[in-house]
Amino acid sequence: MKIETAKRTRPSWRRTSLIAIITATGLALAGAPFASALPAVAPHAAVPAGSAGLFGSETPAVASATDDPAAVELGVSFVPSVAGSATGIRFYKGASNTGTHKGNLWSSSGTKLASVTFTGETASGWQGATLATPVALTAGKRYIVSYLAPRGNYAYTTNYFANAKTAGSLTARAGSNGVYKYGSTGGFPSSSFKSTNYFVDVAFQPSAVTPTPAPTPTPAPTPTPAPTPTPAPSPAPAPSGWPSAATTGVPAGTALTSSGGLNITTAGTVISGRNISGDVHVSAPNVVIKNSKVNGRIIVDRGSTGTLIQRVEIAGPGVSHPDTDRPGISVSDYTCDGCNIHGWGKGAYTDTNVVIKNSWIHNMPVYGDPGNGGSHNEPILAINAKNITITNNRLDAGLQGNFSAALALYSQGGTTENALVQGNLFNGGGFCLYAGTDNSIRAVGVRILGNTFGTEMAPKCGFYGAATAYYNGNGSQWSGNVWQNTGATVPMP
């Protein structure tokens, strides 16, 4: 795979750095339980007995990227469902992947937790090394396991992570789960390309659970009359209750009928159970599109009031190209409820009278230098928007310089007015949130309430911080916003 480097700048927040722009296909990985109790450096290398990983004896589609000899750190992110320890690191090696390899384990914010140098490697196949000290891992937190290929020629499978990978207690999420960073010394990998797997694996050993002894029985007390029952309180939402693949997009078990793109001009049209290959253009009121997959974009014309998009997956090509720098859904007068939007450079564009709720927007491709004709990416983008509601969504931006924010409310030549932003999870971007004020143009009635600012992409949510461009006046509110990792209050910017 050939890589070019170019200078880039972040829109609006002015950071300059280098971005890797992919110009040919590249990078990958695979998964299942580890074999037990083999030497750490044997072919199909294993790690300490009792440990397990994601990829087992799987092999990549491409064993060596012989067109890419540059030094690169390659990794895979994973989430354990139970507490345990990382005991070792493995990677798949092609015959051309030479030099001294070093494995690393990272937190999601880029803190190095452990390192190990691989010794006694075989010419090809899985290589493994045991960590000098096991590293305790917390259930539900994301980690990255990586290795430095000093002469490139890494193994990969493109689009491996089009779907999530789960093996035992470990899950590698769908999308930008395979990561890389170019440079002779490697470092924390955060760039991604085409859902590629680079075949790096962790050896994970769940913590033993000591059973609690049964208590000594005591005599039953004399029964007393049962009190009048009171209504049960509403259950609190689970900590992991953010929109996900299970709760957005086409409901499981829905049968889909294939069709081409649609141009809907009849009021009250209902589209359900379709697998649509092409764009959907709505230019009539009260249209419903539900329980369907759109392999393209949805464009709702202004005036097409009452348009409902419900439990729909909107899938873009997911490639780094100018043609993908478009919103999966736009423009106005629509409700997007339980949508799963991915593969487009912008998730949703909102203009006037838009509701986006219970949706997951993620895995957006970027291309080029944003300061020189490249993409500007946001899960949700609103410019001079009026009457918009953004509630209970999971908005996952990246940290590449192309990402402005997870939610970008801009006032550019006009004013953002009457926006409710409540109960969302934000991750990534320059700032996670742009709150609608731009220089002398002050937003009106922007309510930022009860949102969670994540730390999966960066310890400050975004590269620079949680939020910016908020004006404390004109009926705007900032209240109840918290950090995901601590629950502490996020102060008003």
User: pLDDT tens across 237-293, in order?
Assistant: 333 479 999 999 999 999 999 999 999 999 999 999 999 999 999 999 999 999 999
Element containing residue 420 per DSSP (H, E): strand 417-422
Return the pLDDT at 226: 44
pLDDT digits (tens, 9 = 90+) for 178-205: 999 989 999 999 888 888 999 999 999 9
Is the CB of residue 464 less than 8 Å from the CB of residue 431? yes
- Phi, psi for 299 (deg, rounded to 5): -115, 120
DSSP-based three-state secondary structure for 160: helix
At residue 458, the pLDDT reads 87
Q: Structure tokens of 197?
A: 């797997």
Q: Name the residue with tokens 């993620």.
A: 362
Average pLDDT rounded to a whole number, residues 432-453: 95
**For residue 49, what pLDDT band results from cuts at 50, 70 and 90?**
low
- CA distance readout (Å), 98 to 94, 273, 493: 8, 51, 49
Instruction: List phi, psi (to 5°) of 161.
Output: -95, 30
The mean pLDDT of 23-36, rounded to a whole number, is 30
Average pLDDT over residues 53-73: 92
**3-206 in CATH: which number?**
2.60.120.820
Residue 190 is predicted with a pLDDT of: 86
Q: Where are the domains of the chain?
A: 3-206, 257-483
Sign of the alpha-carbon torsion through 326, 329, 332, 336: negative
Q: Rounded to two decimals, what is the model's pTM?
A: 0.58
Please report how many Cα atoms fall inside a 13 Å half-sphere around the Cα of residue 135, on the Cβ side.
22
Confidence (pLDDT) at 23: 28
Task: Report the alpha-carbon distance of residue 163 to residue 342 in Å, rounded.
Answer: 12
Is the predicted pLDDT of residue 143 greater than 80, yes or no? yes
The C-alpha atoms of residue 262 and residue 403 are separated, in whole angstroms, by: 31
Which residue(s) pair with 88 in the sheet?
130, 203
Q: What is the topology classification, in CATH, of domain 257-483?
A: Pectate Lyase C-like (2.160.20)
Q: Average pLDDT in the 112-130 region? A: 95
Phi-psi group of 395: left, alpha or beta (phi > 0 → left; psi -120 to 50 → alpha; rest → beta): beta
423 has pLDDT over 90: yes
Q: Which H/E stretch holds residue 19? A: strand 16-22
Give residue 91's pLDDT. 96
Reported as a single tens digit per residue, the pLDDT across 203-220 is 999 986 544 454 455 454
Task: Give pLDDT, residue 20.
Answer: 29
Place 400 in a pLDDT band, splitting at 50, 70 and 90: confident
CA dihedral 373, 375, 376, 380 (to 10 degrees): 150
Residue 138 pLDDT > 50: yes
- pLDDT tens-digit map of 357-396: 999 999 998 888 888 888 999 999 999 999 999 999 999 9
For residue 330, is pLDDT > 90? yes
240: Cβ contacts below 8 Å, ≥ 6 apart: 140
Alpha-carbon Rg for the chain in angstroms: 24
Tokens for 493, please give them: 């910017």
Rounded Cα distance between 339 and 359, Å, is 5
CB 455 within 8 A of CB 109: yes
Mean pLDDT of the chain: 84
pLDDT on residue 47? 56
- Amino acid, res. 318: G
pLDDT at 232 over 50: no
